[in-house]
Structure 1
């Protein structure tokens, strides 16, 4: 697959787009980027420099180089010579559809086109394309250059062979593709995170816990287990020798108890300020850049640990 895809085009260079660029460069690809925003190239190159230290610790491809990035001023020109195109423009449906239709018009007919959309279903985005069969959602997670998960979802008009090729391509760049069986708003991982996020907002809004206390509940509890096993295998162990069978028999009835609140609380000015003040308070004098550096250092070590205990994840 790497022989087939040599040149990658990244359209939209915000946080996610820049993360894709860093990963592609680290894997030894030539990358062409396009973003009409003023100062986009300068911000991208700065982001790549910031990510490169962590990427070096994880291991670079022999031919990896930050110098293999080129910016173009024209969208059509940016995709004309690419073998794979990753779209990352803001999460507005009409904007995405317009950009994707332009990409579809100027890209080579055999090129795969992926979208980083976090919630829009692929069938909606591919509706106006001339070659919808080569389009799919490729939804990554921040920081894209370190986190391996990418959700891959085809639309009603997507060719199944394209999904198979995309799956192999992402595996070749050291990612863990999760191919969804059906389309759904928000895909899988974001739906899980949103459910936890809604409940966290209720706990803060109702004065039960502060933002720091909610974070600590995850950091020192569930989060440590989820990094290795995820919720299902974690609960499987909670059932003792009989595993999930006993767990469901013993704790299943508790699912009917009205513990959680499925609806999000109203995002009032008061709640916003409580959340903002809480985050600013316990992050202290640390800037976002300093927090990102700490996060990256932690993730590099954590990924090494995950691969030590689940060696098949590196295969």
Structure 2
């Protein structure tokens, strides 16, 4: 990440984000759009796929039910969404551009370069990539200093975390402006200190996912039993405290010091596997069959609604206790 460049930093820092452009309107893109609209912003969306606008508006309307329960900002309206199939036109007047193309490096690099050419000079360009580093993504851009990663979590319109990852060429002022914007739409900005594939949260989730695949593959548990182990155990604690603070409490009065002394040696035991199992046809079918059995009788839309209703209530419960999860690391 670079210090302030020859840009007019004072003008950049005081520049207000008013218009948002969202490129790619799938699950993540539509989530960004719903959150921005709910916080009173004007949003223009663009996507080359046939039927994209109809699917987008249906997704945003479904999310709006939950967002209404959470609370809408003054001026929030679905009418502030405009769809423009032309990429250059869609991003030309935006102050903040969020890219959500499929997770393919070649596609994203070309797309971000096109966005960079069409966007006005003081616009911020963020990618929702879950794993590609920003230095890679910004390498074909004429103004790489205004390109970074802003990685959210599904459903974007409810979950508050966004990982902000600057690249080697990203300007410090851009990072600060991006963080301020994300906070303005109710998000918790987590600045990733060092570029790494998968960032932070996805690397942690991927480790758990790999272990879950081994457990199913070895016949230790079904997909439903693995899910139950998280839902009724670690997941309840993780809603408030991450792994470090959870284990800190496990050490009793001496906290993490005692926990490491007592349980540290188990780190050398073969309790986990680092590499994922081979995704054979048999394992693939077992996982698919298990998930279909778990969700039998419920459509994906019904499951999404149930998930969102739960998250709305959980967020309301979590809010008074949020100091335990502040990003500054203090209680």
Q: TM-score range by the shorter chain?
A: over 0.9
CA distance in 2, matches of 1:308, 1:110: 37
2:194 counterpart (182, 207, 214): 182
CA distance in 2, matches of 1:48, 1:207: 40
Q: Which residue of 2 aligns with 1:238?
A: 250
Structure 1 residue 217: Cα displacement: 0.1
1:226 counterpart (217, 238, 241): 238
Q: Describe the shift of the 1:312–1:66 C-alpha distance in structure 2 as closer, same or farther (beyond 3 A).
A: farther
SS at match of 2:125: strand
Q: Which residue of 2 aligns with 1:35?
A: 47
SS at match of 1:127: helix
Question: Do structure 1's residue 110 and structure 2's residue 122 form an aligned pair?
Answer: yes
SS at match of 1:9: strand
- Contact map agreement 2:146 2:171 (CA 8 A) in 1: yes
Question: Do structure 1's residue 165 and structure 2's residue 161 form an aligned pair?
Answer: no
- The C-alpha deviation readout for 1:60-101, integer Å capped at 9, x for no partner, is 001000010001121000001111000001111111111100
- Contact map agreement 2:46 2:90 (CA 8 A) in 1: yes
2:313 counterpart (301, 308, 313): 301
- Map 1:112-127 to 2 at 5 A: 112-127=124-139
- Map 1:74-89 to 2 at 5 A: 74-89=86-101
SS at match of 2:234: helix
Structure 1 residue 165: Cα displacement: 1.3
Question: Do structure 1's residue 252 and structure 2's residue 249 form an aligned pair?
Answer: no
Q: How many residues align?
A: 315
- Contact map agreement 1:34 1:78 (CA 8 A) in 2: yes
Taking structure 1 as the reference length, the TM-score comes to 0.98
Question: Do structure 1's residue 147 and structure 2's residue 179 form an aligned pair?
Answer: no
CA distance in 2, matches of 1:218, 1:199: 13
Structure 1 residue 216: Cα displacement: 0.1
Q: CA RMSD in A?
A: 1.5
- The C-alpha deviation readout for 1:257-288, integer Å capped at 9, x for no partner, is 11101100000110011001001112120111
* Most deviating of 128-137 and 161-170: 161-170
CA distance in 2, matches of 1:312, 1:262: 30
Structure 1 residue 41: Cα displacement: 0.2
Structure 1 residue 312: Cα displacement: 8.2
Q: Which residue of 2 aligns with 1:192?
A: 204
Structure 1 residue 38: Cα displacement: 0.2
Structure 1 residue 161: Cα displacement: 1.4
Q: Which residue of 2 aligns with 1:217?
A: 229
Taking structure 2 as the reference length, the TM-score comes to 0.93
SS at match of 1:136: strand
